[in-house]
Chains A and B, each alone.
Chain A
Amino acid sequence: MIRSILLAAGLALLSLPAVAATQAEAEAALAAAQTAEADALAAKAAWTTTEADLTKAQKALAAGQWDQAKAAADEALTLAKRSVEQANEQKTSWRNAVFR
């Protein structure tokens, strides 16, 4: 009986919609992404796709679509961080590709 109740509760939890992002969360996510992208630009390592996601996040924020804004900003943050990682990794590994 207890097991059935727990199972039902678990299923109910799974079917609940994800918690909606607030304006503050969306703004914080965008600010974090913009900071990371500034680092990528300074390292001349930025990706066009990061810029596209930032634009998408800014538009969604302006339209009051906090979920979409946060999702796009999170994606931009990931891309910006990855672009800097790529540049750092390539600082030494490019030599392995030189034709000699």
Chain B
Amino acid sequence: MITPSPRDRFALARYVVCALLLATAPAKAEDKIDPETERKAFQAFFFAKFPKVAKEEFGNGPYAVNESMRKQWKEMMEFPPYEFALDEGHAEWDKPFANGRRYADCFDNKGQGVRQTYPRFIAATGQVETLEGAINRCRVENGEKPLDPMTGLMASLAAVMSESSQGKPFAIVIPDDPRALAAYERGEEFFYSRKGQLGVSCASCHMSPAGERMRGDILAPALGIMAAMPIYRSDWGSMGTSIRRLSTCSFMTRAQPLKADDEDYRDLEYFLSYMSNGIPIVGPGTRP
């Protein structure tokens, strides 16, 4: 039998210690997700790219970064095309459900001035809930059928809630819950992943090229892009929620749009809204 020398034993011990140290070493800095650091870098990019645009203006999308479009928009806003939706939304908001309860009973502060806190991470489900998801949950819990989360009455109700939050900065919370952080990261992954036959990501259009033309459109900056939702879009000829906008984006890249309540869209909205923390709500809005 071969007996290891003291020198061999020392070498073996050294290898064991090294292996243990490597196994317990923290992950590399770039592997860690720190939403707040990422938000600051995200916002700093846009503030540097558009030094003349006030922080409060980013919610106005292309109208904040293109002067000629801004002039047209100001004229359009003399008779905002979402006024009919607001009227419809207020009527629906005030109408009691069959059980006598109302939408206001489902929300903090009776639903007034809370839109800037959506989407929210819900610990009970471990998933992100959008404003439209919360409205539909309210309906279902009160014995009503859910609405189409993309347009129609849902957009009108979301418009009412946005209107009551105008001027309030986005205040999205990522609670100390690994599932919430995972949802944020999935949203981030969606935002930066190239998709569709055209092979473009959300970032491909709404980060560096923001403010530039793509055919007839001025690309909106990603910062504040959710602050104007829901929107009346001339291209649609009707109102649409944030989910409708994301679904349209998917289609434009020639990616098959996901289901309206797909977790990926909700997580993307969570990420985008968190990136816009501090940017005031300006919705309901209009877009070309």
* CB of B181, distance to nearest CB on chain A (Å): 15
- How far, in whole Å, are A50 and B254 apart by their CA atoms in the complex? 9
Residues on A with beta carbons closer than 8 Å to the beta carbon of B47: none
Q: Are B251 and A48 in contact (CB under 8 A)?
A: yes
Residues on A with beta carbons closer than 8 Å to the beta carbon of B195: 45, 86-87, 90
With A48-B251, A48-B256, A100-B37 given, name 7 new contacts (CB 8 A): A46-B255, A90-B193, A97-B201, A99-B38, A99-B41, A99-B42, A100-B30
Interface string of B183-226 (1 = CB under 8 A from A): 00000110011111101010100010000000000000000000
Q: Are B192 and A98 in contact (CB under 8 A)?
A: yes
- How far, in whole Å, are A95 and B194 apart by their CA atoms in the complex? 11
Residues on A with beta carbons closer than 8 Å to the beta carbon of B188: 98
- How far, in whole Å, are A97 and B202 apart by their CA atoms in the complex? 11
**Could you show 5 A-B contacts with beta carbons less than 8 Å apart?**
A41-B256, A48-B254, A87-B195, A94-B194, A99-B45
Chain B: interface residue total (CB-CB under 8 A): 25
Which of A51, A90, A94, A100 meets B256, CB within 8 Å? A51
* CB of B233, distance to nearest CB on chain A (Å): 20
A45-B195, A79-B197, A94-B201 are contacts. A99–B256 as well, Cβ < 8 Å? no
**A interface, by DSSP: helix, strand, loop or mixed?**
helix
- How far, in whole Å, are A99 and B225 apart by their CA atoms in the complex? 17
Residues on B with beta carbons closer than 8 Å to the beta carbon of A98: 38, 188, 192
Q: Are B197 and A48 in contact (CB under 8 A)?
A: yes
- How far, in whole Å, are A48 and B37 apart by their CA atoms in the complex? 36
Tell me whether A49 is interfacial, beta carbon within 8 Å: yes
- Identify the closest chain B residue to A97 (Cβ): B192
- Identify the closest chain A residue to B275 (Cβ): A99
Residues on A with beta carbons closer than 8 Å to the beta carbon of B19: none
Name the interface residues of A30-54: CB closer than 8 Å to any CB of B: 40-41, 44-51
Tell me whether B88 is interfacial, beta carbon within 8 Å: no
Which of B45, B192, B197 meets A94, CB within 8 Å? B192
Tell me whether B258 is interfacial, beta carbon within 8 Å: yes
Q: Are A44 and B258 in contact (CB under 8 A)?
A: yes
Tell me whether B261 is interfacial, beta carbon within 8 Å: no
- How far, in whole Å, are A19 and B38 apart by their CA atoms in the complex? 58
Q: Are A49 and B192 in contact (CB under 8 A)?
A: no
Residues on B with beta carbons closer than 8 Å to the beta carbon of A90: 193-195
- Identify the closest chain A residue to B43 (Cβ): A99
* CB of B249, distance to nearest CB on chain A (Å): 13
